[in-house]
Amino acid sequence: MLARRIDQLSESLTMAITSLARELKANGKDVLSFSAGEPDFDTPQAIKDAAIKAINEGFTKYTAVDGIPELKEAIIGKLQRDNGLSYKPEHIIVSNGAKQSLFNLTQVLIDEGDEVIIPSPYWVTYPELVKYAGGKPVIIPTNESNGFKITPKQLEDAITPKTKLLILTTPSNPTGAVYTKEELEALAKVLAGTKIFVASDEMYEKLVYGGAKFTSAASINEDMFERTITINGLSKSAAMTGWRFGYLASSQTELVKAMKKLQSQSTSNINSITQKAAIPGLDGTIENDIEMMRKEFEKRRDRAVALLNAIDGISVLSPDGAFYLFVNHSQIEKDSMLFAKKLLEQEGVAVVPGIGFGSEGYFRFSFATDMTSIEEGIERIKRFVATYR
Ligand code: PLP
């Protein structure tokens, strides 16, 4: 009955575990969930106010497919101010979350048989989108020894005449790794002279900790600016996951035009109210709200890392960004699905198995949850690990 192309697609494991946890909870089990990739904070008031104003003013009709001009101006202002990038309105397309930006991009860029380099552990969605577009994901594995970051040599070795795109995520979901400016410069050197595009997923840009500094891939040099497609949004930094707002910027106007065409025949513009609401999320209005959340995430990171590393048999690197810990449990169990399932059934703790991100022997623990739950959850993990068999 179904088309062949949908058969290659796997369901998002993150969402599958989250819904299993929700189901157990509904059936009365005491479940603590660390599986979802969304902040526990409420959306900042300035954003809600802008949305209410839009509704009251009747801003409730179709808009331009790629976003209203004042929203595009806010995005351009943000990219200039925060990232030193100069884009024009024709370089920007607003979509239903960064997920749709990535969907549009893979659909218009990837041809049958094209190779797309994806460092692992990766965000679950990338390989699926590449396969859906007919492309071939080429995975570069990373681990703790290189801070979960690819080296220039690894990139060089993965490139073939069929390579079309490299997907970089900084800060990373699920490892929190943040590429330094120097590391990006070294990768840029490998790409120089090739026709390879870079999709730079910068969703967690605002959530960096300690001395870590975020650098946008497109800001490295002119060559990188031309080949990089910058993808960002407000889901994570402004606690706006349900509003569905994301955007993409690229100096390749032909590429942007093609995505606009695809979006015009699929979803059209994103919700008109969300477009108005996103503006204070980009123009600096909510900087204090973001900083409040970032500081709280940092406290939780430090506490959770210390507690987890005190448990015999598991270990975790302290991440420089995002709100996830990628915990190594390979000493006690190689099979991450089995580990996560038992942990959920026995202790009511929901985490995402590493295999969903392409790495066996790990689980992803989201610290976008209150401190009391984090402490209680890790206490349960400790008990679980101590008796694991
Ligand atoms: N990119 C990364 C790395 C993510 O982790 C997520 C969400 O989990 C997204 C993109 C999608 O975000 P959005 O809510 O804007 O679709």
Is residue 51 assigned to a domain? no
What is the radius of gyration, based on Cα positions, of the chain?
21
Of 349, 384, 385, the C-alpha closest to 369 is 349
Is residue 53 assigned to a domain? no
Q: Give residue-wise pLDDT tens across range 112-142.
A: 999 999 999 999 999 999 999 999 999 999 9
Residues 268, 296: one domain? no
Is residue 241 assigned to a domain? yes
Is residue 49 assigned to a domain? no
Query: What band does 4 get if pLDDT is binned at 50, 70 and 90?
Result: confident
Pocket of ligand 1 contains residue 14 by CB under 6 Å: no
Is residue 316 assigned to a domain? yes
**89: DSSP letter:** G
Is residue 98 assigned to a domain? yes
Q: What are phi and psi of 214, to 5 degrees?
A: -85, 135
Pocket of ligand 1 contains residue 37 by CB under 6 Å: yes
**208: DSSP letter:** B
Pocket of ligand 1 contains residue 39 by CB under 6 Å: no
Query: What band does 14 get if pLDDT is binned at 50, 70 and 90?
Result: low
Report the alpha-carbon distance of residue 118 to residue 200 in Å, rounded: 11
Q: Give residue-wise pLDDT tens across range 234-252.
A: 999 999 999 999 999 999 9
Is residue 295 assigned to a domain? yes
Share of the chain above pLDDT 90, in %: 91
What residue numbers bound the domain in which 165 lies? Answer: 60-282
Token output for 76: 């351009």
Given a cut of 70, whether residue 192 has pLDDT beyond it is: yes
Report the alpha-carbon distance of residue 217 to residue 83 in Å, rounded: 9
Report the alpha-carbon distance of residue 25 to residue 342 in Å, rounded: 16
Given a cut of 80, whether residue 19 has pLDDT beyond it is: no
Residues 314, 298: one domain? yes
Q: Report the separation in Å between the CA atom of 362 and the middle of ligand 1, taken as the mean of its atom positions.
A: 21
More confident residue, 290 or 389: 290
Is residue 54 assigned to a domain? no
Task: Tell me the pTM.
Answer: 0.96
Report the alpha-carbon distance of residue 301 to residue 334 in Å, rounded: 25
Structural domains of the chain, count = 2
Mutate to test the pocket of ligand 1, among 96, 122, 235 (most ligand atoms within 8 A of CB): 235
Given a cut of 80, whether residue 379 has pLDDT beyond it is: yes
Q: Give residue-wise pLDDT tens across range 325-359.
A: 999 999 999 999 999 989 998 999 999 999 999 99
Query: What band does 159 get if pLDDT is binned at 50, 70 and 90?
Result: very high
Q: What average pLDDT does the segment 310-324 reach?
A: 97
